[in-house]
Amino acid sequence: MKNLTNSFVFLVHWPSAGSFGLNTDILATNIINLSVVLGVLIFFGKGLLSDLLANRKQRIWNTIRNSEELCVGALEQLEKARARLGKVEIDADLYRVTEYSEIEQQELGLFFFTFKTLEKFEKSKNETILVEQQKAINEVQERVCKQVLQRVLGTLNSCLTNELHLRTISANIGILGEMKKIRH
């Protein structure tokens, strides 16, 4: 190994007058070294790099294609969802109209039921009032008749004497006898 190192050192110190050697000037050798490294990389890495780039390109195209397919699928689902939404909105409007109509019919039925019930109560009230009025009239008539009869009896008892009483009875018997003759 020592021989190898010595030969390397020997090459570095070799005089450059027409002979082969290593140039230790970094600026002068840098361009050459870079071009050699790039040449080696391009020559040996060209296939690997082109394969990597081709794979990357293919993955990008596949991703774009998948994204487009997903986008188309999402648009189809969006259209289906919009159609379902439209149908649901129509159904909701129909349901709303139907329910409002049904509520209005129930309100109208309730109104008529209440109106008929009130009419029945009014008729019953009027009949009750008429019955009560008739009772009150009958009671008043009965009291008035009783009072008139009591006055008449009082007046008759105070004005009639036995003689007037016998004459009235005899006159009435005579009238009845005449009526009996007329009938036969």
**Are the beta carbons of 14 and 21 closer than 8 angstroms?**
yes
In whole angstroms, give the CA distance from residue 22 to residue 7: 12
Lowest mean pLDDT among 10-19, 32-41, 92-101, 137-146: 10-19
pTM of the model: 0.37
- Checking if the pLDDT of 162 tops 70, the result is yes
pLDDT band at 8 (very low <50, low <70, confident <90, very high): very low
- Its sign, for the CA torsion 82, 83, 87, 90, is positive
pLDDT band at 44 (very low <50, low <70, confident <90, very high): confident
Which residues, in sequence order, are CB contacts of 12 under 8 Å at separation 6+? Answer: 21, 22, 24
Lowest mean pLDDT among 60-69, 111-120, 154-163: 154-163
In whole angstroms, give the CA distance from residue 100 to residue 89: 16
**Are the beta carbons of 29 and 23 closer than 8 angstroms?**
yes
In whole angstroms, give the CA distance from residue 79 to residue 43: 54
Residues counted in the chain: 184
**What pLDDT does 86 receive?**
93
- Checking if the pLDDT of 15 tops 80, the result is no
Q: What is the CA radius of gyration of the chain?
A: 69
Mean pLDDT of 102-126: 92
